[in-house]
Chain A
Amino acid sequence: MGIMLVLMLVLVCGQSVIAAVPDPTSLHQARKTLVVLGAGATEKTHSGLLASLRTRSDGHGGTMEVVKSKEAAAKSFHFRKWDRWSYDSLVLLAPDLTHLGGEKLAGVVNDFVLSGRSVMLTGSDEMSSEVRDLAKLLGVSFHESFVDGGSKNTRVLDFFQNDGGHAEQILATGYADDAGAILSDAAKKKPLLWSGVGSSLGDDNPLAAGAVRAHSTSFCPTRKGFMSKKKGMGRFVGAQISLVSVVQARNNARAVVTGSIDMLSDASRRPETSNAAVCEDLTDWVLGYKSLLRQRDFSHALVEGQGVPGQTQEVYRIKDKLRVTTRVEEWSAAKQAWLPFGREDLQVEFTMLDPHLRKTFSKDLQGTYVADVTAPDVYGVFKFVVDYNRVGYSYIHFEEQVPIRPYRHDEYERFIVAAYPYYASIFSTMGAFFLFGLSVLYTK
């Protein structure tokens, strides 16, 4: 089972599914990775990457299997058997691959991702249309040229930021501002040597992000080496071009999509480039060795108000003071354990239609997130929402429904000062009526 799937939290009705699914830690250790190599001598050109993958896989208690594309495409290769997946993650270093285990590549890998498993997809200017389709299903569309007759795959060019004057050998520095969730700061210090087919991400796709984007001088020639002036061609120009895309599905399955298999090669791993570090970070991320979060132990309790302080109630009253606590843990591949999450930008919202309040958690010494909130002066069916949505990290979305009730009829304040004139008027009227009655009845 994919570990990401386990982290998926049920959004509805405030019930966490964690209890219902086996402990992710045990699943994590049984991690099986499949690496598919291209038709050429990929084994040799990418030996550095393979070695690094192997080391980490062994070190983190997983297994890794490397197959050639021809072998992997055959029907005899069991990638999916009787609807069970033989692997937990997939690294495709074969841009020409069209089939996997006898099934069409795009379809089978799409199902693989939907089941919560992760994939690293690499393209090149010789990639098959299946790879292209698969990228599209993941939300990344590789550039296609409109050149008649020629290859559909057109490389990204940059005449200013390149390596040794070769416009196709781009030196990219447009690293995403992901606060280290995917790319470490060390990797971002040097440029990335990149050569291949660019891609664009939809504007309205919240799941995909460009881990490395092109420089503003980069472009993809769509018409015989030049840009077309047509409208809507913006995605072929500048920072709109995503060189390395990261996708995290809503079930926390991860995918890395890049149009450059060369970026991963031994030839690119030079001291003046960051390729080695970037490749290591990307594979760490996609294989779930980093930035993997889980949330647990959400609770709320009364601090001050109607009821016993410190007790969790099903219903609170308006203006009660409440304490919300939760724990968020990050998977440490090195220690093979869940450790408290370090960042402090986790927020809780108290929502009824709209958030009525939003508060940043503070952390206590045990790494538990704590927030004290005051229920708003509005009754209704509220829900606590913890929604942590940062590029690179697993999504945390948790809701718990908590109705807020109005005052009972006997909980309002009695004998308020402002009402004394009214009390006085009532009692004086009663007294006057009594005297009046006496005078009417007993005087003649």
Chain B
Amino acid sequence: MAGGKGKSSSGGRDHPVRAEPQHGSSKTSNQEKAQVTGNESQSGIASTIETVSLVLIAAVAFAIRLFSIVKYESVIHEFDPYFNYRVTQLASEKGVDAFWNFFDDRTWYPLGRVVGGTIYPGLTLTATWIHWFLKAALKLHPVEVKDVCVMIGPLFSSFTAISTYLMVRQIKGRGAGLLAASFVATIPSYISRSVAGSYDNESVAIFALTNTFYLYLKSIDTGSMFWGVAASLSYFYMVSSWGGYTFIINLIPIHALALLIIDKFNWKLYTGYSMFIVNGTVLAMVLPVIGFNAVETSEHFSGFFVLALMNGVALVKYLKRTLTREAYKKAFRLFVTTSVAVMGVVSLAVITFAMTSPTLRWSGRSLSLLDPTYASKYIPIIASVSEHQAPSWSSFVNDLRLAIILMASGIVSCFRPLTAGSLFLVIWGVLSVYFSAVMVRLMLVLAPAACCLAGIAMSDLLEVLCRSYHLAQPKPEDAGRKEDGQARRRGRRRNSGSSQQRGTIPRPLALLGISGAIFALSYHLFHCSFLGGEGYSSPSIILQSRTRDGGVYIFDDYREGYSWLRENTDYDAKVASWWDYGYQTTAMADRTVLVDNNTWNNTHIATVGRAMASPEESAWKQFRALDVDYVFVIFGGLVGYSSDDINKFLWMVRIGGGVYGDIKERDYIGEGYYRIDEKASPVMLNTLMYKLSYYRFAETVGRDGQDRVRNTKFGNPDVKLTYFREAFTSKHWMIRIYEVLEEPLLEQAH
């Protein structure tokens, strides 16, 4: 029996199977046959509806992410995507081999960066091969690399919807699957990272994440090695795409351990898990960026630990099955003694090994997840990244909306009954809630979990409501209600065969509940598309504001500044700025930068931070020593653009001070707090960053003018520059480029 019922909103695929013996006992074999055929024809309609719904969901997932193109233009967004775009261009022009061995001498000057060995190549290769496929195989010649890159996010969101559907269907049935897919297709938290143009690792990684989970659950459900290998291949794609793969390699062992603890061990789990861990680890080691980290760092140890434990359990079970009771008892005692001894030695070795590193072989990012205060205490560069901050409560509601509300209910649903798959969802949900509460970036890991759980909850809810509705239907007083024939037919069948009465409610309430659910879902969708259109489609390189008459005003200063650099400076000129703008400068201005968004070298970033926080003359010497020709700062004081360098400045001080002792944060704090007005500290008013930001600002807004970001007057209206010369200031003063002057031809006597 293929199982499954007509309506997409219903859950439990095992219902017809359960219902069948009852049919058989009360009816003739002919009737039963008719029932079977009826069911089959219905499942034909059902699967058509299901497929159509799924295709529509995938289409919505794609379409809802196109607002950015409609409202702005087809551009690459934000910061990191610019680097990804740049290497994708390289890979599609010069081949994957050149990309693999790419030594980038135009960034991190003068250190350079070995891109091939430090990048997660999944995204780039995906885009390169899609581009190649469209161009070489389909002969679509006008397709450009940029268009492929822009569309990667929407495309993989559709894939995510499909793999989520498959996973939840595996666990809880088709209705829950479709609902979960529709949630994941439209959840704002995920939209924010995968709109068209947001060409970032996460946009493919979330697909890889859900797909890995689906395949893994399939493998432990079927006990098939094939699915286990498929899961590890999917995991390999995840590893090659995003550093968040450590979530998978820890979540799956935790889940397996939980299954062991609640005594749900079976050979299917053993096969699926060991296939996944062993193959997955070997595959992960192939990538240069992971290499031996896959067996040497603490993030990966849990998988091996659980594997060892599982082998022990498997051995004990085997012994229990084959030996006599007495022999088994002896063997068990012997086994426990030896394994405790062996495990003791091994764990001692592992602990000794871990102790060789000051962070116990945890990476900084992982440590800051385990101890949320770690980064702010020791690694300011991790704490400084906006997406590493803890999210505000409102963002949970705003980004997940209905999903976060239904999530708890979904967890409850997962316990009725608790299967390996539903336990997985529970663990995933609970852990990701914790992680997302530490780092706003990991909302992205929470989003699919919340969607799956919400889908299950909504499906259960609708199932109860619909069943109540149909149960109550044949009663005479309700018969006159308008219903379509199909529903009546199904209702009758269900009614006649059903003996389960659990969770039914009166019909009017059921109707009310159904309409309420439909309203909630529609409102959720409305909210999601509103957020997708308004909140998350801004490319952040182009800014928009509403004018008083309702029109749209575009701030295109970034591109103005970058094109000035590209057109007016020497090709080999070195440009210094805070690291946020490094990727954009290399990609859009095509000039060598000192630091960029791949923050692999804290010291080099600290060098730039220190120069920005130094007085002009000292900063000039530092920049000269680094061969810098141009310095630019982002300044929002004229138009009120709040993510400018003055607001980021304290991080420069902290990061600079973390390496160089002569920079102390308290020197830069004015009276009471960090400020730039008359009560700012004299050190602050003397820094290069302050001078470059407010140079000539009084000429525009007047000496008593206001800085519109800080909403204060600025401390020093008479900024004079000796060692830097203003080269370019964009239309809204958002990007200000300065030339680092040469040494004077003559040295005057004093």
Contact = CB atoms under 8 A, between A and B. Distances in A.
Contacts of A207: 746-747
B110 A13 contact: no
B747 A205 contact: yes
B105 A406 contact: no
Contacts of A403: 103, 105, 112
A201 B111 contact: no
Interface stretch (B121-129, B210-218, B326-334, B737-745): B737-745
Interface in A362-393: 379-383
B110 A352 contact: yes
B115 to A, nearest CB: 11
Contacts of B105: 315, 381, 403, 405
B110 A382 contact: yes
A140 B750 CA distance: 9
A361 B602 CA distance: 37
Nearest to B570: A13
Contact of B747 (A206, A251, A401, A408): A206
A408 B570 contact: no
A409 B626 CA distance: 30
A280 B556 CA distance: 64
Interface in B721-750: 742-750
Contact of B114 (A14, A205, A379): A379
Contacts of B626: 353
A275 B629 CA distance: 47
A11 B749 contact: no
A113 interface: yes
A206 B627 CA distance: 20
B135 to A, nearest CB: 26
Interface string A82-97: 0000000000000000
Interface in A79-122: 110, 113-114
B745 A380 contact: no
A113 B745 CA distance: 9
B101 interface: yes
B190 interface: no
Contacts of A204: 747
B154 interface: no
A400 to B, nearest CB: 10
Contacts of A406: 103, 114
A202 B749 contact: yes
Contacts of A247: 746
Name, among B629, B745, B746, B750, the residue most crowded by chain A CB atoms within 10 Å (CB to CB): B746
Interface in A188-209: 200-202, 204-208
Given A12-B627, A409-B116, A202 B747 contact: yes
Interface in A211-243: none
Contacts of A353: 110, 625-626
A13 B112 contact: no
A315 B103 contact: yes
A408 B744 CA distance: 43
Given A379-B112, A381-B110, A409 B747 contact: no
Interface string B569-591: 01011000000000000000000
A207 B109 CA distance: 30
Interface string B461-492: 00000000000000000000000000000000
Contact of A208 (B116, B744, B747): B747
Contact of B100 (A11, A137, A409): A409
B521 to A, nearest CB: 51
A135 B748 CA distance: 9
B114 A139 contact: no
A380 B110 contact: yes
A13 B111 contact: no
B745 A251 contact: yes
A136 interface: yes
A113 B742 CA distance: 17
Nearest to A137: B748
Contacts of A208: 747
Contacts, number: 87
A377 to B, nearest CB: 14
B743 A250 contact: yes
Contacts of A322: none
Given A12-B629, A315-B103, A403-B103, A381 B109 contact: yes
A135 B629 CA distance: 31
B595 to A, nearest CB: 14
A253 B627 CA distance: 24
A405 B572 CA distance: 18
Contact of B745 (A114, A141, A405, A408): A114
Nearest to A401: B572
A154 to B, nearest CB: 17
A136 B749 contact: yes
Interface string B604-629: 00000000000000000000011101
B101 A409 contact: yes
A369 to B, nearest CB: 24
A237 B103 CA distance: 58
B274 to A, nearest CB: 14
Interface in B105-157: 105, 109-112, 114, 116
Interface string B643-655: 0000000000000
A346 B2 CA distance: 87
Contact of A14 (B110, B111, B572, B743): B572
A13 B745 CA distance: 19
Given A137-B746, A250-B745, A406-B103, A13 B109 contact: no
A170 interface: no
B572 A13 contact: yes
Given A12-B627, A352-B110, A405-B103, A139 B749 contact: yes
A140 B749 contact: yes
A84 B743 CA distance: 24
Contact of A141 (B570, B573, B749): B749
Interface string A24-56: 000000000000000000000000000000000
Nearest to A141: B749
A139 B746 contact: yes
Interface in A386-444: 401, 403, 405-406, 408-409
A279 interface: no
A408 B101 CA distance: 6
A213 to B, nearest CB: 16
Contacts of A383: 110
A138 B746 contact: yes
Interface string B263-302: 0000000000000000000000000100000000000000
A249 interface: yes
Nearest to A136: B749
Nearest to A116: B745
A11 B103 contact: no
A206 B570 CA distance: 29
A202 B103 contact: no
B570 A12 contact: yes
Contacts of B112: 379-381, 403, 405
Contacts of B570: 12-13
Contacts of B746: 110, 113-114, 137-139, 207, 247, 249-250
B103 A141 contact: no
Contacts of A200: 749
Nearest to A351: B110
B231 to A, nearest CB: 22
B589 to A, nearest CB: 16
Interface string A289-310: 0000000000000000000000
A141 to B, nearest CB: 4
7 contacts: A12-B572, A136-B748, A139-B749, A141-B749, A250-B742, A250-B745, A251-B745
Given A205-B747, A247-B746, 16 more contacts: A11-B742, A14-B572, A110-B746, A137-B746, A138-B746, A201-B749, A202-B747, A205-B749, A206-B747, A250-B746, A352-B111, A379-B114, A383-B110, A403-B103, A405-B105, A405-B112
What 9 A-B pairs have minimum CB-CB distances, sorted nearest first?
Answer: A403-B105, A13-B572, A405-B103, A141-B749, A381-B110, A408-B101, A205-B747, A249-B745, A250-B745
